Amino acid sequence: MIPARDVLRDYGNMSSATVLFVLKHILGQTPAEREERICSMAFGPASRWRRDCSPGFPRLCDAGSLMLAHPRAGGFLGERDVTAVEDMDRPDCELDRLNRSYARFPIVNAVVSGWRATYSSRIKPLLTTAVPTTVLDIGCGGGDVARNLARRAAADGYQLEITGIDPDERAFQFANSAPPVEGVSYRKALSSELVSEGRTFDVVISNHVLHHLTTPELASFLHDSEQLCRRIALHNDLKRSRMAYALFWAGSWPLGIGSYIHGDGLTSIRRSYTAAELRAATPPAWTVEPSGLWHSLLVYRPGEVRDV
């Protein structure tokens, strides 16, 4: 067991606020200057991190510098690490740590996931005050995305009827025990079950699900989404990059104390797609669109004809 004071000493006083400060002061720099600045502020001297990194930590250090450019074939994060398993996905993970992770996801999603912009640009234009708009959140986890979307729509004078589904009993129990939000309900279910029931929804969404799936699972997931959505499907997921990995490593450790967020977040980035990889892995009817700096949005619009 590593003493907490040693963890704090090695990580320093990095936080999400520090990461935002870094971004504010480097956006005007060249890519090379930007990488060097983030490297210096987030990690300190490379020689220190070669000395202090634990044996299992993926070392970013190479010849005295940290290379934070986009993934290159053969290099660190050059390809998806499909063998990596998130601790939260293990059936024997610690329930207390899992529940703390669910409880802290609203902070993570508010900072990095971009649902505020996605709601404003892609969901809100579909809403009407005449009738509620139905939404399905597949793999909803602790349910925070569904609750926040419902609150945001209500503040704008619209009503959403959101069904969050997750096959994991632990996620369902956590989501179902959260303070209720009008219009939001949860089920322990797979998307295929809802297809079998003949259910359809105006909008189908997911957050940070795609990178969990095997190739056959991804194909089934997208097929189900096509069957379930009437107007649009929006699957938001991480976009793998060295910059994203470095910033999350530096900024997420406070949320990781007593939870799985820090380690599993890094594993998620290692498992995630680049935009080009996601485009190659999905059917032509789906489009890959940018969603902020760190995410890709996989979008399906029924009836839309695309040139391929």
CA 101 to chain centre: 13
pLDDT recorded at residue 305: 53
Q: Which of 108-112, 198-202, 227-231 is least confident? A: 108-112
Range of the domain at 30: 4-66
Strand order through the sheet with 160-165: 184-187, 160-165, 133-138, 201-207, 229-238, 295-300, 286-291
- What domain count does the chain have? 2
129 lies in the same domain as 222: yes
pLDDT recorded at residue 19: 41
Residue 74 in this model has a pLDDT that exceeds 80: no
pLDDT recorded at residue 292: 85
Domain boundary among 66, 88, 120: 66
Residue 46's pLDDT band (cuts 50, 70, 90): very low
User: Which residue type, as a one-letter code, is found at position 196?
Assistant: S
Residue 231 maps to which CATH number? 3.40.50.150
Cβ contacts of residue 268 below 8 Å, gap of 6+?
Answer: 86, 208, 211, 238
47 lies in the same domain as 112: no
55 lies in the same domain as 175: no
182 lies in the same domain as 282: yes
Residue 220 in this model has a pLDDT that exceeds 50: yes
Could you give the residue ranges of the DSSP H alpha helices within 169-304? 169-177, 191-196, 215-228, 242-251, 253-256, 261-271, 275-281
HSE-up (13 A, CA, CB side) for residue 168: 21
Q: Are 277 and 106 in contact (CB under 8 A)?
A: no
137 lies in the same domain as 214: yes
34 lies in the same domain as 168: no
29 lies in the same domain as 174: no
Q: Report if residue 86 sits inside a domain.
A: no
Q: Report if residue 85 sits inside a domain.
A: no
Q: Report if residue 183 sits inside a domain.
A: yes
Q: Report if residue 73 sits inside a domain.
A: no
Q: Report if residue 287 sits inside a domain.
A: yes
User: Which residue type, as a one-letter code, is found at position 153?
Assistant: A
57 lies in the same domain as 181: no
Q: Report if residue 180 sits inside a domain.
A: yes
Quick check: pTM over 0.85?
A: no
pLDDT recorded at residue 24: 46
pLDDT recorded at residue 143: 98
22 lies in the same domain as 107: no
pLDDT recorded at residue 76: 78
Q: Are 147 and 178 in contact (CB under 8 A)?
A: yes
Domain boundary among 66, 81, 116: 66
pLDDT recorded at residue 71: 60
For all residues of the chain together, what is the average pLDDT? Answer: 82
The whole-number average pLDDT for the span 170-196 is: 98
Q: Report if residue 291 sits inside a domain.
A: yes
159 lies in the same domain as 216: yes
24 lies in the same domain as 114: no
Q: Report if residue 248 sits inside a domain.
A: no
- pLDDT tens sequence across 13-25: 334 444 444 444 4
- pLDDT tens sequence across 86-145: 999 999 999 999 999 999 999 999 999 999 999 999 999 999 999 999 999 999 999 999
35 to 50, 74, 152, 222, 249: CA distances (angstroms): 18, 20, 36, 36, 15
User: Is residue 223 exposed (0-12), middle (13-18) or buried (19+ Cβ within 10 Å)?
Assistant: middle
103 lies in the same domain as 167: yes
